[in-house]
Amino acid sequence: MSNNGNGKIKPEMTFWERLYFPEILHGMSITMKALFRPKFTRQYPEERWVPPPVFRGRPVLVVEDETGVERCVACGLCARVCPSLAIQVQAAETELDKERYPVLFEINMLRCIFCGFCEEVCPEEAIIMSKEFELTFADPKDAVFGKDRLLTPRSKLEDRLEFLKQYR
Amino acid sequence: MIAIVALIKIIVVVLVVLGTVAYLVLLERKVSAYMQDRIGPNRVGPKGLFQPFADILKLVLKELIVPENANGFIHALAPVISITVAISALAVIPFGNYIVIGGQKINLMIANVNIGVLYILAMSSLGVYGITLSGWASNSKYSLLGGLRSSAQMISYELSLGLSIIGVLMIDRTLQLDKIVTAQGSGLWNIVYQPIGFLVFITAAFAETNRLPFDLPEAEPELVGGYHTEYSGMRWGLFFLSEYTSMIVSSALIVTLYFGGWSLPFVDYSAMSPNIAAVLQIITFLVKTGIFIFIYMWIRWTLPRFRYDQLMNVGWKIMLPLAILNLVGTGAVLLAVK
Ligand code: SF4
Ligand code: SF4
Beta bridge partners of B330: none
Q: Is A40 on the interface with B (CB under 8 A)?
A: yes
* Structure confidence at residue B271 as a pLDDT band (50, 70, 90): confident
Give the residue-averaged pLDDT of B253-274.
79
Which of A63, A77, A87, A120 for mutating ligand 1's site (highest number of atoms within 8 Å of CB)?
A: A77
DSSP element (H, E) containing B84 = helix B72-88
Q: State the residue range of the domain holding A78.
A: 59-165
On the question of pLDDT at B226 being above 80, the answer is no
B88 vs B13: CA distance, rounded Å: 11
What count of residues does chain A have? 168
φ and ψ at B236, to 5 degrees? -65, -40
On chain B, the residues whose CB falls within 8 A of the CB of A23 are none
Q: Is residue A13 part of a domain?
A: no
Assign residue A82 the CATH number of its domain.
3.30.70.3270
How distant, in Å, are the alpha carbons of A51, B195, B218, B236 from that of B75?
Answer: 51, 41, 17, 11
pLDDT higher than threshold 50 for residue B173: yes
Q: What is the pLDDT of residue A114?
A: 92
A25 CA: distance to closest CA in chain B (Å) = 9
> Chain B: residue nearest A27 by CA?
B302
Which atom of ligand 1 lies at the shortest distance from residue A91's CA? 5
Domain assignment present for A7: no
Letter for the amino acid at B294? F
Around ligand 1, the residues with Cβ closer than 6 Å are: A 72-78, 89, 121-122, 124, 126-127
Place B64 in a pLDDT band, splitting at 50, 70 and 90.
confident
For the segment B8-22, what is each residue's pLDDT rounded down to a tens digit? 888 888 888 888 888
Residue type, B76: A
Q: Do B302 and A30 touch (CB under 8 A)?
A: yes
* pLDDT, position A1: 46
Contact A104, A89 (CB under 8 A): yes
Query: What is the average pLDDT score of chain B?
Result: 83
Ligand 2 interacting residues, C-beta cut-off 6 A: A 59, 81-84, 86-87, 107, 112-118
To 10 degrees, what angle do helices B116-137 and B72-88 make?
A: 160
Q: Does the residue A2 lie in any domain?
A: no
pLDDT tens, position by position, for chain A (168 residues)?
445 556 666 667 777 777 777 888 888 888 888 888 888 888 888 888 889 989 999 999 999 888 888 889 989 999 999 999 999 999 888 888 888 889 999 999 999 999 999 999 999 889 999 998 888 889 988 889 988 888 889 888 888 988 888 887
Which residues are A111's β-sheet partners?
A: none
Structure confidence by residue, pLDDT tens digits, B181-221: 877 777 778 787 888 888 888 888 888 887 778 877 777 77
Is A156 within a domain? yes
| Residue B303 pLDDT grade (very low, low, confident, very high; cuts 50, 70, 90) | confident
Is A84 part of a structural domain of the chain? yes
Can you tell me which atom of ligand 1 is nearest the CA of A127? 7
What's residue B76's pLDDT? Answer: 85
Q: What is the DSSP string of A46-114?
A: TS-----TT---SEEEEE-TTT--B------HHHHH-TT--EEEEEEE-SSTT-EEEEEEEEETTT---
Q: Is A119 helix (H, G, I), strand (E, B) or coil?
A: helix
pLDDT of residue A28: 87
Q: Rounded to 5, what percent of chain B is helix, strand, coil?
A: 70, 0, 25
In a domain, A85, yes or no: yes
0.90 surpassed by pTM: no
- Secondary structure element (H or E) that encloses residue B166, with its range: helix B141-172
| Count of domains forming chain A | 1
Residues 125-154 of A with CB under 8 A from B: none
The reported pLDDT for the residue numbered B273 is: 77
A89 domain-assigned? yes
Contacts of B55 (CB under 8 A, 6+ apart): B22, B25
Q: Chain A within 8 Å of B299 (Cβ-Cβ)?
A: yes
How far is B265 from B286, CA to CA, in rounded Å? 16
- Which one is predicted more confidently, A127 or B93? A127
Identify whether A32 is part of a domain: no
Q: Is the dihedral of CA B171, B175, B178, B179 positive or negative?
A: negative
Give the atom of ligand 1 at the shortest distance from the alpha carbon of A73: 3
Q: How confident is the model at residue B265 (pLDDT cuts 50, 70, 90)?
A: confident
For residue A3, the surrounding DSSP H or E stretch is: strand A2-3
Q: What is the pLDDT of residue B142?
A: 84
Could you give the ipTM of this predicted complex? 0.71
**Window 15-74 of B, Cβ < 8 Å to A:** 31, 34-39
More confident residue, B109 or A71: A71
Asked if B98 is an interface residue toward chain A (Cβ–Cβ < 8 A), one would say no
Contact in structure between A125 and A161 (CB atoms under 8 Å)? yes
Checking if the pLDDT of B118 tops 90, the result is no
Nearest to B136 by CA among B125, B145, B123, B127: B145
Distance CA A20, CA B42 (A): 36
A125 CA from centroid of ligand 2 (Å): 14
Phi, psi of B214 (to 5 degrees): -115, 35
CB B201 within 8 A of CB B165: yes
pLDDT value for A106: 92
